[in-house]
């Protein structure tokens, strides 16, 4: 829901431009900062697109340093998250388990975009799903402070229990069904060969 978000990078840019415009009215003793730091996150649909994006963002910082004569030091914090590759067969097994609990789950979309998670890295190594389970949260948007108050309700507790149980039933299905097990082991072998 990008239309309901707040762009922190834009806020920082506008603040910097506003300070630069105000500088002509500062008293002579006002100090121009000799050091500035920023923390930027970049998100893209695939690992390849992320690499290209990082190159462009790095060039933006380099251009700023070049234009102003400033020194630039870039540091990578953490690891990149790969795109999420969900396994449709595992997704169907999860959906069946959730339905047995009275929950309706949307079909697994192999092109699902959205959030950042290291589960994408895992999904490049082994067949994976990253299912979601819902509960009533009014008009609150995920990760917004208003969302947290709904996380203490009985419906939220039920969602956690149902989600865990549906995952357990999915694992049992995959482990006990010879066709599922053979397919998953074959896919694992294919990915390991790459």
pLDDT attached to residue 28: 78
CB 1 within 8 A of CB 141: yes
- Rounded Cα gap, residues 160 and 158, in angstroms: 5
Start-to-end Cα distance in the chain:
36
Structure confidence at residue 90 as a pLDDT band (50, 70, 90): very high
Decide if 65 contacts 71 (C-beta within 8 A).
yes
**Tokens encoding 157:** 């507790």
Q: What pLDDT digit, counting tens, does each position of 25-52 carry?
A: 888 777 777 888 888 888 888 889 999 9
Model pTM above 0.95: no
Q: Where are the domains of the chain?
A: 2-68, 88-193
pLDDT surpassing 90 at residue 75: yes
Confidence of residue 20 (pLDDT cuts 50, 70, 90): confident
Look at residues 127, 132, 70 and name the one whose alpha carbon lies nearest to residue 107: 132
Confidence at 107, pLDDT banded by 50, 70, 90: low
Task: Return the CA Rg of the chain.
Answer: 23
């Amino acid at each position: 829901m990008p239309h309901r978000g707040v762009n922190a990078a834009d806020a920082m840019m506008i603040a910097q431009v506003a300070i630069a415009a105000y500088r002509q009215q500062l008293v002579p003793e006002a100090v121009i900062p000799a050091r500035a730091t920023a923390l930027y996150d970049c998100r893209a649909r695939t690992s390849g697109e992320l690499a290209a994006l990082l190159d462009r963002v790095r060039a933006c910082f380099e251009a700023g340093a070049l234009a102003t004569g400033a020194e630039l030091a870039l540091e990578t914090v953490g690891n990149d998250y790969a795109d999420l590759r969900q396994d449709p067969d595992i997704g169907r097994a999860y959906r069946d388990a959730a339905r047995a609990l009275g929950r309706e789950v949307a079909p697994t979309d192999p092109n699902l975009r959205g959030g950042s998670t290291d589960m994408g890295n895992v999904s490049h190594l082994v067949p994976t799903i990253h299912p979601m389970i819902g509960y009533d949260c009014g008009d609150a948007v995920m990760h917004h402070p208003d969302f947290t108050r709904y996380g203490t309700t009985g419906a939220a507790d039920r969602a956690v229990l149902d989600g865990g149980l549906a995952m357990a039933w999915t694992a049992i299905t995959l482990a006990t069904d010879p066709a599922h097990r053979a397919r998953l082991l074959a896919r694992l072998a294919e990915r390991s060969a790459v």
